[in-house]
Amino acid sequence: MPPRTAAARTSVGGPLPSGALTGADERRLPRTLHPLAWWIWALALATAVSRTNNPLLLFLVLAVLGYVIGMRRTEAPWARGFKYYLYLALSVVAIRVVFRAIFASGVTPHDHFLFSLPHIPTPDWYAGIQLGGPVSLEALLSAAVDGLRLACMLCCVGAANTLANPKRALRILPGALYELGVAVTVSISVAPQLVQSVQRVHRARRLRAGRTKGLRALRGIVVPVLEDALERSLRLAAAMDSRGYGRAGRATKTSRRLTGALMLLGMCGLCAGAYGLLDASTPKFLGLPALAVGALLCVAGLRLGGRRITRTAYRPDPWRFEEWAVAACGVLSATLLFTNVGFDAAELNPSIYPLSWPTLPLVPTAAILLAGAAGFLAPPPLPVKRPEKAAK
């Protein structure tokens, strides 16, 4: 983002919102962190989360996410979505608990019995699944913890979306995937227009005294909206074409074929590698080696395909020390949790059967708190001027 113009600065209402920033931040130049840095940080933290079922650590991760978001979030529209990720996370936990209660996973004699749901007998051939029956505290707790882990991972992704502008994030896609990014961007901006179109047509239905509800009304609404959307997309395509979208680069026919072959082989390699890693019964060479070769081919394909399109980026995000620091925070935290050094792996997954208080192992705690350091390592974000409400 650019240095603010004088006009924009005064509209913020002060020399700079320095009052908002803590001491050290005041001296730092606000700028937007490279979106890739936030994504690496968040995905690494999500990876770390996948390692543990310890509710204490999971809550700590949530707190750290909250801290970093509180410190480095802007007021841009796309940055206001974290609460929806929280709602989603909560519903994940709730769904997990309810499912565990309904699809009884069995009650052991040692459990703390809570209540009993009506038991629905299942036929023999379906004996693997039980519906209803007694529900124990342990079952619910283990479901809740399991859900919490998933919820935490969701929140990590949500944090990345809150901290990094999704549209800028799409721009870092390699050249060969550029079309994908454009498709997403265009659909994001077209979606609100489609909603408006639907509202307009729905309102217009009354003018013809047509039905506004039911299946028959649907035709009267869908047909004009879709025709409208189709015409608009054709005009958009023409406009993009006229503005140079999809200009041929230096690619020749051979290089295009080579790109295709490389990508195909690379994808095969990635698939085989993933399969080999997950299924231990496959030959050894299908695991990491295939994955590595596949990744290599894919990278080569993307590089070659990227040359097809000659394009430059307007105001490319720089990658500086802060980006390295934020990404390193996340990666280090995940690495610490995976190395098992300095703590017992059992502490990451405390037992629910029998119930016992989870412990707070020192190294993982430190690792998660370390990820939180991104909150002050990242530069303060640029204040966003709030758009005035368009009176319409």
Q: Which is nearer to other proteins, 267 or 277 (CB)?
A: 277
Q: Does 113 bind other proteins (CB under 8 A)?
A: yes
User: Considering only residues 45, 64, 160, 304, which one is a binding residue for other proteins as defined by CB under 8 A?
Assistant: 64
Please name which of 383, 377, 294, 391 lies closest in space to residue 13, comparing C-alpha atoms.
Answer: 383
* Token pair 């050249």 in the structure block, residue: 175
Give the whole-angstrom CA distance, residue 258 versus residue 253. 9
Handedness of CA 134, 138, 144, 146 (dihedral sign): negative
Q: Minimum CB separation from other proteins for residue 296, in Å?
A: 27
Measured CA to CA in angstroms, residue 233 lies from 191, 228, 339 at distances of 12, 9, 51
Q: Minimum CB separation from other proteins for residue 297, in Å?
A: 27
User: Considering only residues 174, 181, 210, 289, which one is a binding residue for other proteins as defined by CB under 8 A?
Assistant: 210
Q: Which is nearer to other proteins, 65 or 272 (CB)?
A: 65
Q: Which is nearer to other proteins, 22 or 254 (CB)?
A: 22
Task: Tell me how many residues contact other proteins (CB under 8 A).
Answer: 135
User: Considering only residues 111, 317, 322, 323, which one is a binding residue for other proteins as defined by CB under 8 A?
Assistant: 111
Q: Does 75 bind other proteins (CB under 8 A)?
A: yes
Q: Does 346 bind other proteins (CB under 8 A)?
A: yes
User: Considering only residues 260, 316, 318, 342, which one is a binding residue for other proteins as defined by CB under 8 A?
Assistant: 316
Tell how strand 131-136 and strand 113-120 pair up. antiparallel
For residue 233, the tally of other CB atoms under 10 A from its CB is: 12
Q: Minimum CB separation from other proteins for residue 336, in Å?
A: 16
All residues at 6 or more sequence positions from 14 whose CB lies less than 8 Å from its CB, including other chains: none
* Token pair 């509800």 in the structure block, residue: 213
Q: Minimum CB separation from other proteins for residue 151, in Å?
A: 14
Q: Which is nearer to other proteins, 26 or 296 (CB)?
A: 26
- Draw the binding track, 171-200, toward other proteins (x: CB under 8 A; -: no contact): -----------x--xx-xx--xx------x
User: Considering only residues 83, 339, 340, 366, which one is a binding residue for other proteins as defined by CB under 8 A?
Assistant: 340
Q: Minimum CB separation from other proteins for residue 256, in Å?
A: 17
Show contacts with other proteins in window 80-109 (CB under 8 A). Answer: 100, 105-109
Q: Buried (b) or exposed (e) across 299-326, using 16+ Cβ within 10 A?
A: ebbbebbbebbeeeeeeebeeeebbebb
Q: Does 32 bind other proteins (CB under 8 A)?
A: no
Handedness of CA 15, 16, 20, 26 (dihedral sign): negative
Q: Does 204 bind other proteins (CB under 8 A)?
A: yes
Contact call for residues 386 and 75 (beta carbons, < 8 A): yes
Q: Does 223 bind other proteins (CB under 8 A)?
A: yes
Q: Minimum CB separation from other proteins for residue 214, in Å?
A: 14
Please name which of 315, 376, 379, 374 lies closest in space to residue 40, comparing C-alpha atoms.
Answer: 374
Element of type H or E holding 120:
strand 113-120
Show contacts with other proteins in window 137-176 (CB under 8 A). Answer: 138-139, 142-143, 145-146, 149, 167
3-state secondary structure of 214: coil
User: Considering only residues 83, 256, 257, 315, which one is a binding residue for other proteins as defined by CB under 8 A?
Assistant: 315
Give the whole-angstrom CA distance, residue 218 versus residue 299. 46
User: Considering only residues 33, 40, 46, 53, which one is a binding residue for other proteins as defined by CB under 8 A?
Assistant: 53
User: Considering only residues 73, 157, 181, 325, which one is a binding residue for other proteins as defined by CB under 8 A?
Assistant: 73
| Residue-level length of the chain | 392
User: Considering only residues 27, 29, 312, 321, which one is a binding residue for other proteins as defined by CB under 8 A?
Assistant: 312
Give the alpha-carbon dihedral of 130, 133, 136, 138, to 10 degrees: 0
Q: Does 45 bind other proteins (CB under 8 A)?
A: no
Q: Does 252 bind other proteins (CB under 8 A)?
A: no
Q: Minimum CB separation from other proteins for residue 171, in Å?
A: 9
User: Considering only residues 288, 311, 318, 342, which one is a binding residue for other proteins as defined by CB under 8 A?
Assistant: 311
Name residue 219's amino acid.
Answer: R
Measured in degrees and rounded to the nearest 5, phi and psi for residue 383 equal -65, 135
Residues 290, 293, 295: CA angle, nearest 5 degrees: 105
